[in-house]
Structure 1
Amino acid sequence: MATIRPFNAVRPREDIASKVAALPYDVYNREEALDEVLKEPFSFLKIDRAETQFDKDFNPYDVMVYEKARDILQQMISEGIFLKEGKNCYYVYELTMDGRSQAGLVGCASIDDYLDNVIKKHEKTREDKEIDRINHVDICNAQTGPIFLAYRSQKTINEVVDRIKKGSPLYDFVAPDRVRHTIWKIDKGADLETISTEFKKIRNVYIADGHHRTASAVKVGLKRREANPGYTGEEEFNFFLSVLFPHDQLMILDYNRVVKDLNGYRKEAFLSKAAQSFVIEDVGEEPYKPTEKGTFGMYLEGVWYKLTAKKEIRSNDPVEGLDVSLLQNHLLTPILNIKDIRTDKRIDFIGGIRGLKELERRVNEDMKVAFSMYPTSINELLDVSDAGQLMPPKSTWFEPKLRSGLFIHELE
């Protein structure tokens, strides 16, 4: 059963929260992060991506970068930009994009639940990415970016959240990308107890986004345990900052693919090979967005095609039946010779938030062919996780993104 608990947050002053709040550190490259920090000096990116405080050629993984992040955080606390709550609370964090809202609970999840597979995963992690966040969390002595978790919707928790949302918010602002962020504090003992008790009735929670940050938080916790053999399990380093959403409020966008070349095939030969596994229809010059599972859009030489997976390649297996697997196993690997999409430089990935015109632009500029995907569903993600399996890389793109800097969880 899931252990979720309230925490004593470090959070920005109400009047400056909108300036501090920043998109996750990993959605920016170095140049983009620097631009954001120059544009907004209070941006939390100067802590999450402290290499922005050094010359552009400075090693972003040097220990001095993480020490700089720690120093900036402590300076902002001492200057009153960040406040310490002073008591354990939960928070409701609602994000509204394009008229659609999702409301999650901000709290701390247990590293033991991760180790015991109560918190389920659906992606592999890379050691180099883990090391970066391990150093950041350990040296800052704080978790600065919340993990995006999902759980199967639960009536009692929903009722508490809905009631809290009728009160006055702690923060309420619209970010530059037009996503509205509204946050309420939960500090009454009865509500805190209800939430913690109800989560103990939930068998599993699921990592929706943030596998590397979760793995890093867990490894820092284990490191602290080793350094403190008399630990009780109640110390803050045994828990990690999370926002937990009921599954039926979440939306996954398409995660599209663009490929550099046709692996030596001419267009006609390539289409002929693809037609062995997919029914191919010419749909003209207008971008084609798939409207059902098992269908794909393909943009090639100025023309859009609809690809429909033939019955014989479809599968009821939680992983093999995913659209990303159908495309990978029956086109990208056997025809285009793209075997490992994590490392192959001939393929790139474009989040659905950027639209299909971005696929056309890439093909017209530096790629040869693009594929638009039908989004993986949240139930498919849960099914894969429950089966103890892993999704192929780049299977899900969640929007809207949680902001970093609105809540900080100190480890001591």
Structure 2
Amino acid sequence: MAKVLPFKAVKPTPEKVELVASRSYQSYSPTEMEHILSTNPYSFLNIVNPSYKHQNAVKRKKRYTLVKNHYKTFKAQGVFKQDDRASYYVYKIRKSNGVSFSGIIAAASTEDYKNNVIKKHEDTIAHRENMFKDYLKTVGFNAEPVLLTYADNTSITGIISETQNTTPEFEFSTDNEDFHKLWKIESDATIGQISTEFKNIDSIYIADGHHRSASSNLLTESLKQENKNHTGNEPYNFFMGFFIAESELKIYEFNRLVRDLNGLSKDLFLEQLQLNFRIENRGMDLCKPTEKHQFSMYLDGEFYAISLLENQYNFQNALEALDAQILFQTVLKPILGISDLRNNSRIDYLHGKNSLTEIKNKVDSGEFAVGFGLVPATINEIKAIADQGLTMPPKSTFIQPKLSSGVTVYEF
């Protein structure tokens, strides 16, 4: 039974929203970042990068305080305003390629995260959890919702569809040519219906935002200890989520690049691969895998199709049947000597429809020795792994939509 609540969002004014909205901080190149920060004083990047104008390094705790102060300045200047009453928010993103995503922005419960009603499929890194928890504790807000998914629900889908037949509160385009719309749901009856429908959902899954979810849970535990009158209903018991039906998600693969063959010759490497794979040399033809347990490989100027010999590999659970895990267990770890996928600098990752060409270019340049292409994981694989309490290897999925920062803000 999921607890998904309306909240009083802080939002840019309609005339400023296009200027405020930003992509995730990490997605900008230094050149892009410098251009935006020097030309757009309303960008949310000015809040999360408060030391830009002074061009000097700022210690972490001081930076967090500056972020908080810059956010307060935006509110004082009227760039941001908070709604008078708690609402759900229907949000739609239409990508430049015509693909669209619609869902509901609402408050997700850290208790649900703790009790595994909100389920994860990726490991998190403890120091990153604690770092972001400290950030949240200082700044006092979420500015980018966690992407959460649930089994398709006809009632919720109907509400989203009906709401989109009305005039949105605002609509705007972003610098990557995506088009965004937001509607506010204020009807008591509709709010009650949405809340009830989510209460009838047994499991919600994190699609993107594992560290932010974990950090929010740590924040709850920290503030709970400090509050002698803790009730469980305080705003710090929740975090902002974008709830989207699982049929709306787009899941893409993450491909792998390895810098060397771990001291092996090409022939010896291929010989060891044959213990678990059937190998077909495809020459210069771009080779993209089309089914589970099949991979493409680019090595020494040639593409190969490699297919798992399933009689050589036994699946004991949902994780072991995942292609990213198969590649790790049969190639990356035993042959190429990569046991730590998070911290080994010999491996890198690429996502996107053009990544096979990028793999070829990076291997041809000599930066990497070999590249592997995978097919995307499915939502059913993700759910099965989460339901079994297992976690995927890092960079197993690239899931869209990717959400903007600063369009809705949740304060606690």
Equivalent AA in structure 2 for residue 372 of structure 1: G
Q: Which residue of 1 aligns with 2:253?
A: 254
Q: Distance in 1 between matches of 2:187 and 2:240?
A: 20
The aligned residue for residue 96 of structure 1 is: 94
Matches within 5 A, 1:313-332: 313=313, 315=315, 317-332=317-332
2: CA distance between counterparts of 1:250 and 1:84?
29
Residues 232, 30 of structure 1: alpha-carbon distance in 2 compared, 3 angstrom cutoff:
farther
Task: Please name the residue that 1:300 is paired with.
Answer: 299
Task: Give the alignment of 1:342-381 within 5 angstroms.
Answer: 342-352=342-352, 355-365=355-365, 366-381=367-382
- Distance, in Å, in 2 between the alignment partners of 1:30 and 1:127 is 27
Q: Tell me the SS of whatever aligns to 1:66.
A: helix
CA contact (8 A) 1:253 1:375 kept: yes
Asked if structure 2 preserves the Cα contact closer than 8 Å seen for 1:314 and 1:326, the reply is: no
Could you say if the C-alpha distance between residues 286 and 174 of structure 1 is closer, same or farther in structure 2, counting changes exceeding 3 Å? farther
Aligned to 2:157: 158
How far off its partner does 1:250 sit? Answer: 0.6
C-alpha spacing 1:170/1:408, structure 2 compared with 1 (3 Å): same
Instruction: Quote the residue 2:215 is aligned against.
Output: 216
Equivalent position of 1:21 in the other structure: 21
CA contact (8 A) 2:249 2:401 kept: no
The CA distance in 1 between the partners of 2:137 and 2:329, in whole Å, is 40
Q: Report the counterpart of residue 287 of structure 2 in structure 1.
A: 288
CA separation in 2, counterparts of 1:84 and 1:370?
Answer: 49
Matching residue of 1:182: 181
Task: Work out the number of aligned pairs and report it.
Answer: 409
Query: Residues 360 and 47 from structure 1, CA distance in 2 versus in 1: closer, same or farther, beyond 3 angstroms?
Result: farther
Given that 1:33 and 1:52 are in contact with CA atoms closer than 8 Å, whether structure 2 keeps it comes out as no
CA 1:82–1:353: 2 relative to 1, 3 Å: farther
Deviation at 1:28, TM superposition (A): 4.5
**Mapping for residues 90-239 of structure 1, pairs under 5 Å:** 90-97=88-95, 98-239=97-238
Q: Show the counterpart of 2:80.
A: 82
Whole-angstrom distance in 2 between the partners of 1:154 and 1:286: 43
CA-to-aligned-CA distance 1:207-266 (integer Å, 9 cap, x gap): 111111111111112222111121222211111111011111111111111100011112
Can you list the C-alpha shifts for 1:313-336, whole angstroms capped at 9, x where unaligned? 262621000000111111111111
Amino acid at match of 1:187: E
Aligned in 2, Cα 1:25/1:364: closer, same or farther, shift over 3 Å?
Answer: same
- Matched-pair identity in %: 34
SS of the counterpart of 1:320?
helix
Out of 33-42 and 356-365, give the one that drifted further. Answer: 33-42
Residue 93 of structure 2 contacts residue 102 of structure 2 at CA under 8 Å; is this kept in 1? yes
Select which of 50, 71, 74 maps to 1:73: 71
Counterpart CA distance in 1 for 2:296 and 2:41 is 41
Residue 39 of structure 1 deviates from its aligned partner by: 5.1
- Counterpart CA distance in 2 for 1:299 and 1:370 is 5
Letter in 2 for 1:87: R
Q: Contact between 1:256 and 1:350, CA under 8 Å: does it hold in 2?
A: yes
In 2, distance between residues paired with 1:49 and 1:330?
A: 42
What SS class does the counterpart of residue 291 from structure 2 fall into? coil
How far apart, in 2, do the equivalents of 1:152 and 1:241 lie? 19
Alignment pair present for 1:55 and 2:77? no
Write the deviation string for residues 47-72 of structure 1: whole angstroms up to 9, x where unpaired. 2344545535x15x521111111111
Q: Which amino acid aligns with 2:115?
A: D
The residue type equivalent to 2:361 in the other structure is R
Question: Which SS does the other structure have where 1:15 is aligned?
Answer: coil
Of 195-204 and 221-230, deviating more is 221-230
CA distance, structure 2, for counterparts of residue 383 and residue 172 of structure 1 = 37
The 1-side partners of 2:315 and 2:163 are apart by 43
Are the aligned partners of 2:130 and 2:218 in contact in 1 as well (CA < 8 Å)? no
* Cα deviations by residue, 1:93-143 (Å, 9 ceiling, x for unpaired): 122222222211100011111111111111111122223321221111111
Q: Which amino acid aligns with 2:71?
A: L
**Partner Cα separation in structure 2 for residue 51 and residue 363 of structure 1:** 38
- Between 377-386 and 23-32, report the one with greater CA deviation: 23-32
| Distance in 2 between residues matched to 1:27 and 1:378, nearest whole Å | 25
Taking a change above 3 Å as real, the CA distance of residues 316 and 180 of structure 1, as seen in their structure-2 partners, is farther
What is the alpha-carbon distance in structure 2 between the residues aligned to residue 328 and residue 229 of structure 1?
47
Matched-pair contact (CA < 8 Å) for 1:30–1:52 = no
Say whether the 8 Å CA contact 1:157–1:198 is kept in structure 2: yes
Task: Return the alpha-carbon distance in structure 1 between the equivalents of residues 106 and 260 of structure 2.
Answer: 46
Kept in 1: contact 2:101–2:401 (CA 8 A): no
Match of 2:394 in 1: 393
Task: Tell which deviates more after alignment, 45-54 or 355-364.
Answer: 45-54
> What SS does the aligned partner of 2:393 have?
coil
Which secondary structure does the structure 2 equivalent of 1:325 belong to? helix
Matched, 1:337 2:332: no
Residue type of the partner of 1:43?
S
Residues 1:191 and 1:170: Cα distance change in structure 2 (over 3 Å): same
1:14 partner SS? coil
* TM score, norm. by length of structure 1: 0.94
CA 1:290/1:175 → structure 2, altered by over 3 Å: closer, same or farther? farther
Which ranges of structure 2 fall in alignment gaps of 5 or more residues?
none
Gap regions ≥5 residues in structure 1: none
**Which region of structure 1 is more displaced relative to structure 2, 152-161 or 269-278?**
269-278
Give the Cα separation in 2 of the matches to 1:304 and 1:387. Answer: 36
- Name which of structure 1's ranges 349-358 and 217-226 shifts more when overlaid on structure 2: 349-358
- Structure 1 stretch 37-46 or stretch 15-24: which is displaced more? 37-46
